[in-house]
Structures are given as C-alpha cells and as structure tokens.
Amino acid sequence: MQRKVALLGATGFVGGHILTEALSRPELDITAVVRNPAALAAHEHLTTAAGDVFDVPALTEALRGHHTVIHAFHPGRTSSPDEVYDQSVAGHEAIIAATRAAGVPRLVCVGGAASLMTPEGKEYIDSSHWDKEFDPYRNSILGTRALYYMLKDVTDLDWVFLAPSAWLRPGERTGVFRTSSNDMLFAADGTSRISLEDYSMVLIDEVVTPAHHRERFTVGY
Amino acid sequence: MKDGLTRRSFVVGATSATALAAGSGLPAFAQAKSFAAPLALLDARLAATSPDGSILLGDLVRQWQNGLRENVAASGAIALVRWDLALMLRQLGREARLSIKVAPRADGLFGVDISARSTPQLSTSKPKDASCNEK
C-alpha cells in the first residue's frame, strides 16, 4: 500500500539526500513542500507543492492527508547567524502546529548532535568533545537542539528526533552503522560521524517501519 | 496587561461571551470597533463541552474558511488557546487584515484578542462622477 509522506526542506543539504533515499522506496509517494518547486527534478513518486513553512494555515492545508511529515527544514544561508536561532525555532513551532492541525499522526525530524550525551556526562555542545570547527554554526546547532526540547513536550504526535553523529557529510550508503538512544557514538578511530546516505536510509526506515516513538535516537559508525 | 481572560471563566462556563469580553483585560481592543459582542473562542483541548456562548476550536483552518473568518471580522473575538492555535489565529487574522493581540498567560495558555473590522462609512450621496454612465 502506498504511503503519502510530506517532506519539508527537500531542497536543503540534508533534505536533498533524504528525498533521494525516499524516492528509492517505491512504497512511498512524496510531497515536497518547498518555496521553489522548479528546483526539484520530476519523478513518478514525487509531487511538489509551493509553500512556506512560516505560513501555518497554508502549510496545514498542504500537509492534510499525509501519513507522515518529515521535518528537514532549516532557515539556510539566507539567515544571518544572529537570526538563525529565532528562525529555526519559529520554523519548528510552525511545523509542529501545522502537523497537528492537519491531523498527520507521525512527525519524523532531522535532529542534531548537540544534545547527545558524551562520556563525560555533558551534552556534546557543552563538552570537551565539541569540535571548534562548529563554532560558526553554534546558533544553528542550538536551534536544532531546541527542537528536541520542544518535542519532549509534544504528547499528541508520534514524533521521532533522529540525531546524526557530530559529522554528517556525503559519503557512502554502507548500511553498516550503530544506533543509540542518548549517547553520542564514536567510531573505532575516535571520530563521531555518519554519512548523509546512511543517515537518510535510517530516517526513511523510520518512515516505512516506525520503530521509535516520542523519543530521540542517534546513528553513527 | 491584565490576565482577565481566565481559564476558569471558560471551563466553568460561568459567564456569557459578552460578560467574558467585558471582564477581561484583553478585550477592550476587540470591542472598540464593534457594536456586536465579541465571539468567545476556546481551544477544544481545554474543555470537553462548550461553555456558554463559546465556540470550540478544533480544525481551526477549516472552521475559519467555513464562516468563522466572517463572523470574527464582524464581531471581533476573544480566544483562550494553546500556543499552536495562538500562532494559527495570529496568522489567519493577519491574512484577513484584522488587528490581533496575543498575550501569554501564567498558566501557559494564550489569550488572543481579535478586533472586529471597522465598518466602512456608507454614503447615499451620488458620487461626483456618477453621471459618466448616465447618458
């Protein structure tokens, strides 16, 4: 049976990979709600809809009738570092509100690693494991962490927050990875990483066969 | 801003919408441009049944499209809702070009005050250029 899934952020860095993975699953029909539908190539299982996540009433209408919403929205490069946190949180609020109002039961969220616990008992963003290379993106990362804390108060949606490892970059779809609920994962070489391809596969698996409910989990090597 | 729009007044249903409006710190705004009593709107998740005179908000977007917009524009409204419906009401109201105030409350709910649209002054006098079609 075909399952209708709405994807927010399909033209983004992570969302683009998620779209590719989703379209490889013939049982999914994807509706990409994007500001510029022309940016996406046509596909038999892809419908595009022009939309702005900040327009909650319109987003509600766009989401109606779907089984799952995938939240891969990020304010992106148009936002200044000072604005990105506020815009991220506003986007999270709008998406939660519209998903709820549209009666879509399942919300699958692209998360971040900031709130994962490190061996020293601190969240990654406050720990000695924090990579200084992420400093320029700190407000953006805090915005994604805020989503996790917002979701913890959401009891009427079947949400999941999939946190990647610290480094999320294009690579290979290996299918070999580990998962954890709260603890940051470190590979044998001491790095915390996951490819976008493997991350997307795990996320779409959660859409096809939900295994986590109202919880966060992470994936890494 | 006063927190006069109390949850109790909705849930217990001890007051009519008009009295609710009159007793609130919020509603002066809604009443200012309307001769009709403002509508009382209540988040359906806060009460199983509708208190006296209030409209339960469930599928707000559909309710808005199916007549609520016109009624709110005509009478104004005061709402007691959770944050997501406050966000929705603010955007719907703005789309309808209505003035809106949203006030967070100590109990985590939100009071929303939507003013009625002012009625344009109707004139029965003949426009100066009305003769152009009267040949």
Q: Residue A128: which residues within 8 A CB-CB, separation 6 or more?
A: A118, A120
The percent of residues above 70 in pLDDT, for chain A, comes to 99
Average pLDDT of span B57-82: 96
The percent of residues above 70 in pLDDT, for chain B, comes to 61
**CA distance linking residue B19 with residue A133, whole number of Å:** 59
Average pLDDT of span B76-83: 96
Q: Which candidate in B62, B84, B100, B112 is best for mutational testing of the A interface (most A CBs within 10 A)?
A: B84
**CA distance linking residue B55 with residue B98, whole number of Å:** 19
pLDDT score at B26: 53
The token pair that represents A188 in the structure block: 């044998």
Per-chain mean pLDDT for chain B: 75
pLDDT at B129 over 60: no
The percent of residues above 90 in pLDDT, for chain A, comes to 95
Q: How many other C-beta atoms are found inside a 10 Å radius of the C-beta of residue A92?
A: 22
pLDDT score at B12: 37
Residue A212 Ramachandran class (φ > 0 left, ψ -120 to 50 alpha, else beta): beta
Report DSSP state, residue A178.
E
pLDDT tens readout for residues A20-41: 999 999 999 999 999 999 999 9
Which is it for strands A28-34 and A3-8: parallel, antiparallel or unpaired?
A: parallel
Strand order in the sheet with A46-50: A46-50, A28-34, A3-8, A68-71, A106-110, A158-164, A215-220, A178-180
Q: Which candidate in A55, A60, A150, A151 is best for mutational testing of the B interface (most B CBs within 10 A)?
A: A60
The band of B123, judged by pLDDT with boundaries at 50, 70 and 90, is low
Angstroms from B95 CA to nearest CA on chain A: 10
- Chain B positions contacting chain A at CB under 8 Å are 59-61, 64, 83-85, 87-88, 91-92, 95
ipTM higher than threshold 0.90: no
pLDDT at B27 over 50: no
**CA distance linking residue A67 with residue A90, whole number of Å:** 23
Residues of B in contact with A101 (CB under 8 A): 59-61, 84, 88
pLDDT at A60 over 90: yes
Selection from A23-32, B18-27, B43-52 with the highest mean pLDDT: A23-32
Cross-chain Cβ contact A57/B95 below 8 Å? yes
pLDDT at A214 over 60: yes
Average pLDDT of span B116-133: 56
In degrees and rounded to multiples of 5, residue A217 shows phi and psi of: -150, 165
Per-chain mean pLDDT for chain A: 96
pLDDT tens readout for residues A113-167: 999 999 999 999 999 999 999 999 999 999 999 999 999 999 999 999 999 999 9
Helix axes A81-102, A138-151, angle to 10 degrees: 20
Side-chain half-sphere CA neighbours of B40 within 13 A? 23
The token pair that represents B53 in the structure block: 């005179």
Instruction: Answer whether A94 touches B (CB < 8 Å).
Output: yes
